[in-house]
Amino acid sequence: MATLARKLRLHDYFALAFGTMVGTGWLVLMHDWLRRGGPVGAALGFLLGGVLLLPVGYVYGEWVKRLPDAAGEAAYTAQVFPPMVSYFTGWMMLLAYFIVCPWEAVALGKLVAYIFPSIDSLELYRVAGQPVFLPRLALGIALTLFLAALNYRGIRLSATFQRIITSAVLACFLVIVALSASRGTPANFQPAFSAAPLVSIVLTLQIVPFFLTGFESIPKYAEESNPDFRERSYLWAIALALGVGVFFYALSVAAVAYAAPWRSLLGQRLATAVAFESSGAHWPVRLILVMAMFGLFQCFNGNFVASSRMLFAFGRRGTVPARFGTVHEKFLTPSVAVLGITAGTLAGLLLGDALLVPVTEVGSMASTLGWFAACLSFWMVEKRAGMRIVTTLGILVSLMLFLIKVLPVFPGHFSSAEWVALAIWIGLGTAMHFRKG
């Protein structure tokens, strides 16, 4: 049986995981983050989310050493739960990765429209009152096909692309933070919270799982590690990706709010760019847009890799049609799974801007459910007392993040539209599973 190419090293794992987390959310949805928490509430929400996820990351680091399987959560839960539970746990986690792909394809049009407003022309139709324009759609299709070709031809190409883009994103980010520090003022932070401090932090915590989903993607590439890769390096890659991702988001909120009065940014399209426009210089805005474009590419590519590997692993396990478990004879890539994710992304792209905010909510819930299942299954197989304590913390954290997203007693809980979207995904998973022959 053909196996996937084994090419990845530590810096590849970091770039893929960090890229899976960081895309264009800090630009496209900054107004929503500030609306939820205010500058201090939003920054604390991301920092607290990162701290809370440390035990979850540790559990994933231990799991991948025991079971380096691209199926991830589906493989872990299969050790202790019935096959149907295992499959749908993995299917929900697949949603967390896959759903980002059409999100970023749509965000590309939104970003380019900020630079060239004229592309908002030739309206084709509307979804939930939001227009879908032909030029935007064409851009999303072109990017999707480019990344599909990159991933079809080999993980080495995809990982090299990811490393270059990630380095560019981090370099641009440091320049932007320095610019904010030199031109902004602490007075722009007032008021520090959008509502009561606790409410502001909770409202941000509800979306943090969506934006931090990615550190746990590292096990999905475990079968493609270089033969010399050391097992303990998986945990280092997870910790590094999670730590850098958390500080990236917290500092981006602080930099934007420091650069301009944050309340003036609410409701603004691409609020991050608007904040730096007030300085009177145009080059910071251009730098932000370049960085956003790089971030979009890396996030799209990272989630494309993770979702295609999970779909491949499901096909290999026989829980979805077996053809998805095909390995290309020449490129040693999950070629049919790559084509499947490409088709799904193109279908989601047709929904246009109406996709953006609901996707954030559903993706957050899917991530927390996967984290909870991974921690719970590890607790059931782990006998060491110290590890059980860490795992219990991971269970409690992921369960809390799940409940604040779905229970009506919490502000910002699931709307009816989000429940419908979730039901559609579960229905699709059911159809895929029973057509596996």
Segment-wise mean pLDDT, segments of 10 residues, the chain, 437 residues: 80 92 84 91 93 93 92 93 92 89 86 84 85 90 94 88 92 90 88 89 84 89 90 92 94 92 84 79 82 90 93 91 90 93 92 67 82 94 90 93 80 74 86 77
Contacts of 404 (CB under 8 A, 6+ apart): 202, 205, 206, 410, 413
Cis amide prior to 209 (ω within 30 degrees) = no
Separation between Cα atoms, residue 43 and residue 45, nearest integer Å: 5
In a domain, 5, yes or no: no
Burial class (CB in 10 A: 0-12, 13-18, 19+), 95: buried
**How confident is the model at residue 241, as a pLDDT?**
94
pTM: 0.88
Q: Are 263 and 35 in contact (CB under 8 A)?
A: no
Greatest distance between any 2 Cα atoms in the chain: 63
Report yes or no on 103 lying in a domain: yes
55: CB partners within 8 A, 6+ apart: 375, 390, 391, 393, 394, 397
- Count up the domains in the chain and report the number: 1
pLDDT at residue 393, as a whole number: 94
Q: What is the pLDDT of residues 154-213, one digit of tens each?
A: 888 888 999 999 999 999 999 999 988 888 888 998 898 988 989 999 889 888 887 888
**Residue 258 belongs to a domain:** yes
Spatial separation of the C-alpha atoms in residues 312 and 433, rounded to whole Å: 14
Q: Which domain holds residue 123?
A: 10-431
Q: At what angle do helices 356-381 and 100-115 cross, to 10 degrees?
A: 150
Kindly report the CATH number assigned to the domain that includes residue 17. 1.20.1740.10
- Angle, CA 414 vertex, CA 408 and CA 419 arms, to 5°: 120
Whether 60 is in a domain gets the answer yes
In a domain, 416, yes or no: yes
In this structure, is residue 23 part of a structural domain? yes
Q: What is the pLDDT of residue 34?
A: 92
User: Which residues on adjacent β-strands are paired with residue 219?
Assistant: none
With contact defined as beta carbons under 8 Å apart, do 277 and 50 qualify? no
In-domain check, residue 4:
no
Q: Is the dihedral of CA 345, 349, 350, 351 positive or negative?
A: positive
Residue 116 lies in a domain: yes
Alpha-carbon gap, residue 264 to 181, rounded angstroms: 19
